[in-house]
Amino acid sequence: MDTLIKATQNVKILKESDIIPLFDVLKANVIRSHMEMTVIFLKATVADSHQINVIEKLEEQIAHFFVSEVRNTDMLFKLEGSLRWGILLPQNGEEEGKAFLNRIFQLVKNENFPTKIDSAFTLQGIIVEIKNDQVMFEDLIDKQFEVLSQLSEPWEIEIVTSYKAQPIKRVKVSILEENAIFREVLELTVQKMIVDHFQLETKVFSDGYEFLQSDWYLSGHTHIVIMNDILPRKNGLNVLHTLRQMANQKKFIIYMMTNRKSQSDMIYAYESGVDEYLIKPFDLNLFQAQLKRTFARL
């Protein structure tokens, strides 16, 4: 236990009002950088209810213990009501929250405190993973009151999943391929994919010029472009270059298809911003798997 290095001096206990702006900033990042965050709520119960008068002292001691256990990127804050705290774990999910609570609980059960705590107590916890940027901090507070009041057993952990649902995101998929039959097969393959939280809009083009003449690629949506390297009028490299020169070029994820198998061309295309290469003929299952990975990263 002592082998863990802790940087306790950096962690302060924040007030509820202090945490709200931080929470809002992190929440916006949840969507932008695809990193969930988790809030843990803790309630301590003192076994011996006679010692009510020393509760303030105890509260300080327990808080001090928590401070020594959290990482310095985590934020500990005091909630209204006695012996209640919250911990915000940025860039962490439910699993990390669970592991953290289990560790704390284990320490308390074994009375293995790094600092001195006067009285024995039990803990209860709630883990809330947040992947949705619509949630308000007040909602969380209300939720934890409601859930904590329902908990009866000591050492109980409740996982709240109601904020885990991601908002549906619109993603555009463009397919640029000369062969009409294969073009439709690709379109169908993409359309058939069920990807949680994403709404796919597909459109097919038979050459580069047709694609670049449409205003379809100008919107701000994340846009997956699947194109052949050789295309009539404006070939694949030309389209690639045009897209990568755009101000918001990061929204494009570009798949290049080839049947030329020329290594130097592929290297160049990767260097100029192709994300994935598909060598024809390729397996549609593999293609779907690659697409799924792409969506997972979105």
188 belongs to the binding site for another protein (CB under 8 A) = yes
> In the structure encoding, which two tokens stand for residue 143, read together?
């939720």
Least distance (Å) from another protein to the CB of residue 91?
A: 33
How far, in Å, CA of 246 to CA of 243, rounded?
5
> Which one of the spans 3-11, 59-67, 81-89, 277-285 is the region binding another protein (CB under 8 A)?
277-285
184 belongs to the binding site for another protein (CB under 8 A) = yes
DSSP labels, 214-243: SSGGGSSSEEEEEEESS-SSS-HHHHHHHH
216 belongs to the binding site for another protein (CB under 8 A) = no
241 belongs to the binding site for another protein (CB under 8 A) = yes
Beta-carbon-side half-sphere exposure of residue 140 (alpha carbons within 13 Å): 29
Q: How many CB atoms lie within 10 A of CB 132?
A: 17
> In the structure encoding, which two tokens stand for residue 117, read together?
């705590």
Restricting to residues 195-214, name those near another protein by CB under 8 A.
207, 209, 212-213
56 belongs to the binding site for another protein (CB under 8 A) = no
**CA dihedral in degrees (26, 31, 34, 40; nearest 10)?**
40
Three-class SS of residue 289?
A: helix
Identified binder of another protein from the candidate list 20, 117, 193, 230, rule CB under 8 A: 230
Strands (DSSP E) found in 136-258: 157-160, 169-176, 198-205, 222-228, 252-258
291 belongs to the binding site for another protein (CB under 8 A) = no
How far, in Å, CA of 176 to CA of 16, rounded?
53
Angle, vertex CA 97, rays to CA 91 and CA 98, nearest 5:
150
277 belongs to the binding site for another protein (CB under 8 A) = no
Q: Which is nearer to another protein, 47 or 188 (CB)?
A: 188
In terms of Cβ atoms closer than 10 Å to its own Cβ (0-12, 13-18, 19+), residue 202 is middle
Beta-carbon-side half-sphere exposure of residue 116 (alpha carbons within 13 Å): 2
Q: Which is nearer to another protein, 172 or 183 (CB)?
A: 183
Q: Which is nearer to another protein, 124 or 228 (CB)?
A: 228
Identified binder of another protein from the candidate list 70, 171, 237, 256, rule CB under 8 A: 237
219 belongs to the binding site for another protein (CB under 8 A) = no
Total number of residues that touch another protein (CB under 8 A): 36
238 belongs to the binding site for another protein (CB under 8 A) = yes
Identified binder of another protein from the candidate list 34, 280, 292, 293, rule CB under 8 A: 280
Least distance (Å) from another protein to the CB of residue 213?
A: 7
117 belongs to the binding site for another protein (CB under 8 A) = no
292 belongs to the binding site for another protein (CB under 8 A) = no
Residues in contact with another protein by the rule CB under 8 A: 179, 181-182, 184-185, 188-189, 192, 207, 209, 212-213, 230-235, 237-238, 241-242, 259-265, 268, 280-285
